[in-house]
Amino acid sequence: MSALFVPAFIILTGFILPYQKDYSAERFNKLQGLLGWMPVKIALFGILFLSFFHCAHRFRHTAMDLGLRSASTGLGVVFYGGALACSLLAIKVLSAL
């Protein structure tokens, strides 16, 4: 799912929104209001959550392919624990918006 939503999110927030002609304070307030809306926060958290765990999964399997198969459990704890910590940090940041 992360592979579907992240590119669309990058195109929207990285290319389409910044290159519009209207740079007024009203546009900024609209965008800030949109980011303060709970369904948008939930969607952003879903994208971030899936991305963090996808990244952790890829790192774990890459490390196992590089010869750390004997430390599979430890790698899982480190990488998936890091993804969980990043997800909790994302909740904290999104709740402050």
Distance CA 83, CA 51 (A): 9
What pTM does this model have? 0.75
3-state secondary structure of 67: coil
Instruction: Give me the CATH number covering residue 8.
Output: 1.20.1300.10
Total domain count for the chain?
1
Distance CA 87, CA 49 (A): 6
Report whether pLDDT(41) > 80: yes
Report whether pLDDT(20) > 80: no
Q: 19 — phi, psi (to 5°)? A: -100, 20
pLDDT in tens, 46-76: 988 989 999 999 999 999 999 998 988 999 9
pLDDT in tens, 2-13: 777 788 877 877
* Residue (of 4, 15, 94) closest to 50 by Cα position: 4
Report whether pLDDT(19) > 80: no
- For 25, the domain range is 2-96
